[in-house]
Amino acid sequence: MKAREGDLIETKTGLILDVKGLIHPPNKTVAFPRFIPNLSGNRKRKNAVYGKVYALPERFRFLERNFPSYLVHDSVFDETLCEVPVDDVKEHYKPVERLQELRSSKDLEPLEARALRFAELLKESAGTAWNAIGISGSILVGLHTANSDIDPVVYGSENCWKAHSALKSTLKEGSDPFKAYDREDLKILFDFRSKDTFVGFEDFVRTESRKVMQGKFMSTDYFVRFVKDWDEVDEKYGDIQYRNAGYARVKATVVDDSQSIFTPCKYGIEDVTVIEGDKIQSIVEIASFRGRFCEQAKISEVVIAQGKVEQVIDKKHDREYFRLLLGNKPSDFMILA
């Protein structure tokens, strides 16, 4: 099974998980619970009832109680991850295939129709092929409600930047049916994100108000995920060894934002000062597997970030460096200085 960011998988026990990244151990998939069978849940599909888990600490607690065998300390990533054996997977849901289903359907629910319209407008304005766009999230697995978000995915660097540019122009023009988040929208988003990322509201507004990948479409929230295509990823599991080197808060200047829109995202940094924590001066990168840290800063901007310090040992290219990884703890953050 070849799974990537934006895909969802369903186990034989009915657990639905969202796939993280594009690098996975042999015969396993790194993924975290998203929809869990729950008789008191508010999402129904055929004869099954589901509840949704979002905050990372909540996902870990659920796994510890119900699927402890999925929690593995991965020696390559030097991190405790949820790794699902491929043999446990019953269904592999792919966003591109789901969008194809929406396009061929003559009986769409209102949210599905809005998602399809979003994809049509994005494809038209960005000039991409249909196989470069998909629909993820709850719509992908048929567990959406009337209040669910739209979660498009764009694949391939060139397609992603075209789509990003198209969205940026559309939001700048204020053209219906697209709308940038206003302060009230950001307060709602802040209250939701605060469940597992602690940061002040004004700092939150400074970064989130500039983002292109999120907003409103026909009054429905959307979040576009930009993912590299398979032929753009030359890393295989084990090519790079990641080692936990502590935890730190740093101040740094962003010198490379070319990977900032992708999930996983990266920022090249220089002039790094360790404000608090392990005094490692050779940190050259900030990275995250979480979409919320995309578009967080632009080139030449000074940021303050806090997260796990990792030593990166790249065997394939014979190099070593340190990076700051964000998103594993509620205390992780990245703000403009």
Contact between 336 and 207 (Cβ < 8 Å): yes
In this prediction, residue 202 carries a pLDDT of 95
Given a cut of 80, is residue 281 above it in pLDDT?
Answer: no
> Average pLDDT in the 316-330 region?
93
> What average pLDDT is seen over the chain?
95
Task: Give the model's confidence band at 249: pLDDT under 50 very low, under 70 low, under 90 confident, else very high.
Answer: very high
Residue range 31-76, pLDDT digits in tens: 999 999 987 888 998 889 999 988 888 999 999 999 999 999 999 9
**Cβ within 8 Å of residue 242, ≥6 positions away:** 76, 77, 78, 79, 310, 311, 312, 313
Q: How far is CA 293 from CA 215, 328, 335, in A?
A: 16, 12, 10
Given a cut of 80, is residue 175 above it in pLDDT?
Answer: no
In this prediction, residue 107 carries a pLDDT of 93
Q: Which two tokens stand for residue 295?
A: 């578009």
CA-to-CA distance for 84 and 231, rounded, in angstroms? 24
29-53 CB burial, b ≥16 within 10 A, e <16: bbbbbbbbeeeeeebeeeeeebebb
Structural domain spans, the chain: 8-92, 95-227, 239-336
CA-to-CA distance for 74 and 156, rounded, in angstroms? 28
The pTM score is: 0.94
CA-to-CA distance for 269 and 283, rounded, in angstroms? 8
Contact between 214 and 223 (Cβ < 8 Å): yes
Q: Which has the higher per-residue pLDDT, 119 or 175?
A: 119
Task: Give the model's confidence band at 80: pLDDT under 50 very low, under 70 low, under 90 confident, else very high.
Answer: very high
Given a cut of 90, is residue 1 above it in pLDDT?
Answer: no
Q: What CATH number has the domain spanning 239-336?
A: 2.40.50.140
Given a cut of 80, is residue 233 above it in pLDDT?
Answer: yes
Given a cut of 80, is residue 5 above it in pLDDT?
Answer: yes
Q: Which two tokens stand for residue 24?
A: 């996975």
Q: How many CB atoms lie within 10 A of CB 283?
A: 23
248-259 CB burial, b ≥16 within 10 A, e <16: bbbebbbeebeb
Sign for the CA dihedral angle at 200, 194, 209, 5 comes to positive
Question: Residue 122: which of 99, 140, 141, 144 has the closest Cα?
Answer: 99
Residue range 188-227, pLDDT digits in tens: 999 999 888 889 999 999 999 999 999 999 999 999 999 9
